[in-house]
Amino acid sequence: MLKTVTITSEDILQQVKLSCKIPEIMQEIITRKIVAVATEEIGIEVEDEALQKTADTFRLINKLGSAEETWLWLQKHHLSIDDFEQIAYTSFISGELAKHLFADKVEPYFFENQLDYIGAVIYEVILDDEDLAIELYYTIKEGEMSFYDVAHTYVQETELRRKCGYRGIVYRKDLKPEISAAIFAAKPPQLLKPIVTSSGINLILVGEIVQPELHDKLRNKIIGDFFSEWLKQQIEQIETISDLS
């Protein structure tokens, strides 16, 4: 029976290869190098206070509320304090580079594509049986059951069932065309007739139509989308030379 295992750097590299993750990791390395070079060429300044805020945000996202929790997390991932600072640094300069390149493009893009950012607050139940979906639709319409009772009975996913099928705000561009057309033609609050899709039979309650607003979260998402596409283009233009034996 094996009781002690020694794992070397060579073992880890070999496992990465066997896991077929080399292309993914190489792309991450190339991305980091692209960001570092572009940041230096542009002359983006990195201040200690900004780095600290980035590190604090990282800890918050990863639920590292104390120094002890942070230290245990570093040990788990075999990272040093210097490595952690490098994570914060890379995250910070990536965000600053993205804003430098694309912040001024957000508003024109948003106003040209406002229809994509109209949102809808929806509740949804996905069923396998079309006859059952139709029966439940009329049961709700006739007031014999509420949509929320139906969701609590028929939604399979635990957390979604607890929220009575609440999907939050969804956007036109993220929805299948047949669902999008019906949702954004609705007059909330409105229960839609069952819609057949590849996912099943969708029973949807439209609670509210949310008009587009360029808030900070959406602004950052648009910048992020632009930046991701820019990185993709940069990667495609690079000749990669690897030294993996």
Spell out the per-residue pLDDT of the chain, length 245, in tens. 778 889 999 999 999 999 999 999 999 999 999 999 999 999 999 999 999 999 999 999 999 999 999 999 999 999 999 999 999 999 999 999 999 999 999 999 999 999 888 999 999 999 999 999 999 999 999 999 999 999 999 999 999 999 999 999 999 888 999 999 999 999 999 999 999 999 999 999 999 999 999 999 999 999 999 999 999 999 999 887 777 76
User: Cα(160)–Cα(112) distance, rounded to whole angstroms?
Assistant: 34
Tell me which of 3.30.1490.440, 3.10.50.40, 3.40.50.970, 1.20.140.10 is the CATH number of domain 119-210: 3.10.50.40
Domain ranges across the chain: 16-108+219-236, 119-210
For the range 175-178, what are the long-range contacts, defined as Cβ-Cβ under 8 Å and sequence gap of 24 or more?
none
Its pTM stands at: 0.76
Q: Which two tokens stand for residue 53?
A: 């805020």
pLDDT of residue 245: 61
